[in-house]
Structure 1
């Protein structure tokens, strides 16, 4: 399978685009005419530059408003086409995209269009070139791939074929199953783009909101299943028009594109096993089961302060690493690690960001398969030297400088806590009823949210929830969750659009630390909060106005409102399903804990309470140090 991407899909000048495309692992590139024209070198030089990057030129595009024109416009269109053929031969590519006409004087007519393409195909064929015809979703007369195929069929020329674009088919809600009936050798090229489900003008939607397969809501997999079942054997290419991508890092966007293509075609191969897809075998999406551990990096007095703070949350220091300055704190199934080493990954994170979560450990179905799949999707393996008696736990580099380690039940990796750590004494403080990590919240710039959702949903068996708006007094934060199939592993992704928001200030203060918020689960939040407050825990203070409003919005059992108010506990309800949450005060530039009780059937994250929680946090500031006990 040859992978390709259109130069219009990413930002930068042409050389920068090509460098990013090659580094991401693509085999070829569509040259978008505007990028070629803007470059200061000729066609022959551009072709050589592309091949020097190890890339093929899979397509030259677009050629607009060709078919069904009256004279003298028709003759002029043929002249324009011949000039483009000259450029193609200089570039060293044999295929050009002709999109269906939007010209106001185009006459229409299936046979007229077929005759024009047949005549142009004869000219192209004499030069060893091919033309591919594509139905634009907003074409004046042809806006359906089925009509475009009929035109190509009637043209009946070996140099004339069909180009399919997922957006033009799915954006018009055309069933892609009809593609299965098209001979695969007459499909000359396939372009892919996803898009969010938005009701708007097709042209505007296409020009501004396309994204990578898997980042939107279109049925891209069904489209490609039909394409491959037809017998298509050519390049699979991305053509993405997106305002956000135009201003994003070219290398990151190209890497996302490659990840999306490999994951998509792996899905297609599994759904259509009888089709021929030349793709290296990779493991399927891995079952992500739970958070195994969260590791903090801390130095100096921070270690003692963080340890004291974790004690107020009911955690006990149960073990210390045999070789390193690393301590293990546990309560229920929650493991928190404090790493104060002065060398290695944790130290590098501390030098850059200060006290922060430096590592996320995930319990997965297979640690080995997770790393193999991640590598195939473009995420490099992470490793650092192991000391005597230490286990090599599989890990990868995630996004934003993050690191993820993977532990499974079958390889013995779960024994790391006994192998590498020695118990600390017998004294254990009273537990507070915390059972497991309900979810973690990762904060990022809004422009990076699509990358993070794509990262999780292509690597793991996780689904994304609809994006929601979180109102901050100083702006808006976009939030979207990804969840494992069983719901045990949940990660909320929060995209900050401005540094004035709490999320944005956290990013600025920590130089891009990703984990801002750790939510711990309990089965009895009132007993837990009572225990924690007796141990010195100081909850985030919530104003009386909030509880007055709760009384107006919900019918509550007698005494419940007083209990909520006494513990600074927030409340929400979905139908009959209840949700309780209480927050710690912020520390380390905005990091904080949440303790929740999730009633049966409650699927959300307390979204209606977010504006009040954020306002309360802002009143106390970001919290540079650790709350005193």
Structure 2
């Protein structure tokens, strides 16, 4: 399928945008008129640049406020159109987007709209150009695709067709099912835009908060599926107005854009392939359109390990903290300055080998998590999926008799290793480490890694949401805003179906918060806390305190207030107050948790106990933790 993206979706000058779009593998562009107006060159110059980059100009847009205009205005509109046609012919664009009229002059007459669009299409025909009519969600008289289609049908001109845009349909809660009944050859162009669900004016929503498919909450797969069922075979394109994208490096945005389309195509291909053999529209779409078909998303089955990058001094300090947490040093790497710690099903690797981090972000003093090991049945297929979805493969140096563990680079620079679940609990470590002590590790009752929380730069959140869905096959939870004493933190969880792999993605709206400070010290995509699961949090906390581990103190006011907000057993409340444990509850279960004091670079641990089917992260208690950390600091 031909893939395109609107120039308005990226930051930079027009030439910089085009270079980033071409590098990401797109076939064409939607040229946003303002980009051309401010371009230091002619339409012919632009045509040469795009041809040299292997890009086509699939759409020129927008042509505004045309249909159903008063007679005098209509004549001016036709003259305006002729000048646009001049430009289009010079640059090699054959299709222009005519969006529904938003002018107060517009006349409420579908007949007049059709008549005037017919005339415009006839003029376009004389130049071998085409007109695509799109219903804007804020159009004065035409705001739904069904209304636009009725006008196009009435106009009845071969050079006039419909342009569909998922944002305009879903923002008005319109049903895309009817698209499947529109003749595919009358759909001239398809624009896809996702978005978070926001309660705000639709124009402001559209101009500032669209996102790539897979980053928002709209049902993008259903929209594309219905369009393909109609028989559409044209470009699949993205038109994204987003304030953050306008600031983000355009090469990264272009990669996200391509990843989103590949992910969307693969979703729809799977749907069509599962349709009954008698479903003629599904069979036709599969036979006609070459939809992206990557390896399946990996089925993750838990964390195999977390790896810390540390200098020589920090490695010793971190090792002592891990021992306070109940971990036991159980081995050292065969060829590197790397130490293995274990407790329950948790493996922590402390890497102090300087050459391991020569690629940049971890060439620093202090400690940060540099790699996550995730278990899956087929690591090679997981990396193939990642590379197909625009992620970069990583091959670490391997010594004699050491295992090669397939890996990829996550957004921000961390590594994700895919570890074969067939290796069992110790297969990987027996191969790569000289085990110093294989006796049972009594520990402090910590069993598994419950979740890993990352601090991201503001422009990385959408990237990580899409990466988590498209590459790792994770599901997204709700987006929350948490109150830090110095600003708001936006937080979103992603997890696999059985919740054995959970990530929490956090971005700061302010540069003064602790999250923002952690990100600035360690770089984007940095792990800022690690949650470890236990069966009896009070017993575990008692052991940890006995080991000398220090926790973030929680105000007595928190415990005084808790019973005013929810019914809670007095004995449980007393135990929580004595231990410094926090509490959250949902309809499915409850959550007990406590935070350690911070280690280097703001990194800290969380001890958690999930009761019944509680599936969140204790977000209501995050302000208590952040306020306490701020007061300590």
TM-score normalised by L of structure 1:
0.95
Superposition map of 1:597-608 within 5 A = 597-608=609-620
The separation in 2 between residues aligned to 1:526 and 1:241, in whole angstroms, is 50
Superposition map of 1:172-183 within 5 A = 172-183=172-183
Structure 1 counterpart of 2:279: none
The CA RMSD over aligned residues, in Å, is 1.9
**Uncovered stretches (5+) of structure 1, i.e. residues with no partner:** 622-629
1:115 aligned counterpart, secondary structure = helix
Q: Using a 3 Å threshold, how does the CA distance of structure 1 residues 161 and 330 change in structure 2: closer, same or farther? A: same
Question: What is the aligned counterpart of 1:326 among 330, 333, 338?
Answer: 338
Structure 2 counterpart of 1:579: 591
Structure 2 counterpart of 1:15: 15
The separation in 2 between residues aligned to 1:450 and 1:549, in whole angstroms, is 36
1:352 aligned counterpart, secondary structure = coil
Structure 2 counterpart of 1:5: 5
Structure 1 counterpart of 2:386: 374
1:545 aligned counterpart, secondary structure = helix
- Shift of residue 356, structure 1, vs aligned partner: 0.7
Structure 2 counterpart of 1:218: 218
- Shift of residue 107, structure 1, vs aligned partner: 2.0
Structure 2 counterpart of 1:625: none
Structure 2 counterpart of 1:393: 405
Structure 1 stretch displaced more, 568-577 or 605-614: 568-577
Structure 2 counterpart of 1:302: 314
- Shift of residue 516, structure 1, vs aligned partner: 0.4
- Shift of residue 71, structure 1, vs aligned partner: 2.0
What do the CA deviations read for 1:481-524 (whole angstroms, capped 9, x no partner)? Answer: 00111122111101112221110111122244610000000001
The separation in 2 between residues aligned to 1:390 and 1:103, in whole angstroms, is 69
1:107 aligned counterpart, secondary structure = coil
The separation in 1 between residues aligned to 2:426 and 2:240, in whole angstroms, is 42
2:267 aligned counterpart, secondary structure = helix
Structure 2 counterpart of 1:199: 199
What do the CA deviations read for 1:279-337 (whole angstroms, capped 9, x no partner)? Answer: 34211222222111100111222222211111111111112111111111111111100
Structure 1 stretch displaced more, 182-191 or 575-584: 575-584
The separation in 1 between residues aligned to 2:596 and 2:585, in whole angstroms, is 22
Question: What is the aligned counterpart of 1:456 among 448, 468, 475?
Answer: 468
Contact 2:10 2:245 (C-alpha < 8 Å) held by counterparts: yes
Structure 2 counterpart of 1:162: 162
Question: What is the aligned counterpart of 2:415 among 395, 400, 403?
Answer: 403
Is residue 2:496 matched to residue 1:496?
Answer: no
Contact 1:346 1:358 (C-alpha < 8 Å) held by counterparts: no
Structure 1 stretch displaced more, 36-45 or 104-113: 104-113
The separation in 1 between residues aligned to 2:219 and 2:476, in whole angstroms, is 15
Structure 1 counterpart of 2:532: 520
- Shift of residue 237, structure 1, vs aligned partner: 0.5
Structure 1 stretch displaced more, 410-419 or 593-602: 410-419
- Shift of residue 567, structure 1, vs aligned partner: 2.1
The separation in 1 between residues aligned to 2:462 and 2:37, in whole angstroms, is 30
Is residue 2:478 matched to residue 1:466?
Answer: yes
The separation in 2 between residues aligned to 1:546 and 1:135, in whole angstroms, is 52
1:292 aligned counterpart, secondary structure = strand
Structure 2 counterpart of 1:567: 579
1:381 aligned counterpart, secondary structure = strand
- Shift of residue 76, structure 1, vs aligned partner: 1.3
- Shift of residue 588, structure 1, vs aligned partner: 1.1
Q: Using a 3 Å threshold, how does the CA distance of structure 1 residues 454 and 607 change in structure 2: closer, same or farther? A: same
Is residue 2:340 matched to residue 1:361?
Answer: no
What do the CA deviations read for 1:219-253 (whole angstroms, capped 9, x no partner)? Answer: 21111110000111110110111122222222222
Structure 2 counterpart of 1:626: none
The separation in 2 between residues aligned to 1:289 and 1:121, in whole angstroms, is 57
- Shift of residue 603, structure 1, vs aligned partner: 1.8
- Shift of residue 132, structure 1, vs aligned partner: 0.9
- Shift of residue 553, structure 1, vs aligned partner: 4.0
The separation in 1 between residues aligned to 2:362 and 2:117, in whole angstroms, is 63
The separation in 1 between residues aligned to 2:157 and 2:500, in whole angstroms, is 56
- Shift of residue 540, structure 1, vs aligned partner: 2.1
The separation in 2 between residues aligned to 1:513 and 1:58, in whole angstroms, is 35
Contact 2:11 2:250 (C-alpha < 8 Å) held by counterparts: yes
1:344 aligned counterpart, secondary structure = helix
2:628 aligned counterpart, secondary structure = helix
Q: Using a 3 Å threshold, how does the CA distance of structure 1 residues 546 and 147 change in structure 2: closer, same or farther? A: closer
Q: Using a 3 Å threshold, how does the CA distance of structure 1 residues 366 and 576 change in structure 2: closer, same or farther? A: closer
What do the CA deviations read for 1:252-291 (whole angstroms, capped 9, x no partner)? Answer: 2222111111101110111122223313421122222211
Is residue 2:439 matched to residue 1:444?
Answer: no
TM-score normalised by L of structure 2:
0.94
Contact 2:456 2:507 (C-alpha < 8 Å) held by counterparts: yes
Structure 2 counterpart of 1:615: 627
- Shift of residue 545, structure 1, vs aligned partner: 2.5
- Shift of residue 413, structure 1, vs aligned partner: 11
Contact 1:9 1:241 (C-alpha < 8 Å) held by counterparts: yes
- Shift of residue 152, structure 1, vs aligned partner: 1.7
- Shift of residue 349, structure 1, vs aligned partner: 4.2
What do the CA deviations read for 1:4-35 (whole angstroms, capped 9, x no partner)? Answer: 11111111111111122112221111100010
Is residue 2:602 matched to residue 1:590?
Answer: yes
What do the CA deviations read for 1:155-205 (whole angstroms, capped 9, x no partner)? Answer: 222211111111111212221111111111111100011112122222222
Is residue 2:209 matched to residue 1:185?
Answer: no
The separation in 2 between residues aligned to 1:603 and 1:393, in whole angstroms, is 31
- Shift of residue 399, structure 1, vs aligned partner: 0.6
The separation in 1 between residues aligned to 2:444 and 2:58, in whole angstroms, is 61
